[in-house]
A and B are shown apart, each in its own frame.
Chain A
Amino acid sequence: MSVLHLSKAVYDAIRAHGEETYPHECCGALLGQSTPDGWRINLSVKAGNTRTDSAHNRYQISPGELVRIEREARKQGLSIGGFYHSHPDHPAQWSSTDLAEAHWLGCSYVITAVAQGKAILTNSFLLAGETEEDRRFELETIEVTE
């Protein structure tokens, strides 16, 4: 099982973001460095959810915002290593929608279940595979470091 290393600040920030936007889904990017030991994430960036038509059960980050996030990451010597979003009143498990819309192979997709406004569980799934056709989510261990 692969490991996603999150700083305590990032772990707390993404859970707080899910509580902040409840009952809507939050979303954002995870910036860090790829190591043989897995992604080491030391910065999270909040993004706007463009799915205002169905924000309680859908999220989407505008590509223009992604371009700006990636540009800032490069300036800091970091890469986009994954993304996070919340599942309001829904388990911290990937859904068929999540997989259908996932295209960042080798990156982590972090999901926080938020129940009645409180973040209860955060899981991470690596988008594994070599191509669009064989991509799949694999549960990974989250290691939180101070």
Chain B
Amino acid sequence: MTIYIPTPLRPFAAGNDTVEVTAATVAGALDQLTQAHPDLRKHLFTSEGKVRAFVNLYLNDEDVRYLPAKEETAISPNDTLSIIPSIAGGTS
């Protein structure tokens, strides 16, 4: 599958905007990604190994948080995984 790397994480993925991995699940894909680019790990996961709250994962057009199997969702070679940090803010 293809993993799309957002702008702020590209420096930690050797400058790549996409990374190809072969895995059975979303979790497996993330594992392969961080094995290939270990510097990404601290940006994606907490010290307890959970995906950071502000990191959104989209399997094709679906938010992985809302998929029944979440990160254990099975993937196929033509799927895409987008990593999108959240955007919010405001005054005060």
Contact = CB atoms under 8 A, between A and B. Distances in A.
Nearest to B57: A63
Nearest to A58: B90
Nearest to B65: A63
Interface centre among B58, B82, B85, B90 (most CB of A within 10 A): B90
Contact of A103 (B8, B61, B90): B8
- The interface size bin for chain A is 35 or more
Interface centre among A83, A105, A106, A107 (most CB of B within 10 A): A105
A70 to B, nearest CB: 7
Nearest to A81: B7
Given A70-B4, A70-B6, A27 B58 contact: no
Contacts of B78: none
A87 interface: yes
B19 interface: no
Given A81-B7, A107-B8, A90 B91 contact: yes
Contacts of A90: 91-92
Contacts of B56: 63, 66-67
A102 interface: yes
Contact of A83 (B43, B82, B87): B87
Contact of B7 (A54, A80, A131): A80
9 contacts: A27-B87, A57-B91, A63-B86, A64-B63, A94-B89, A98-B89, A98-B90, A102-B89, A107-B8
Interface of A: 25, 27, 29, 34, 51, 54, 57-61, 63-64, 66-67, 70-71, 74, 79-81, 83, 85, 87-88, 90, 94-98, 101-107, 109, 127, 131-132
Interface of B: 4, 6-8, 11, 17, 42-43, 52, 54-56, 58, 61, 63, 82, 84-92
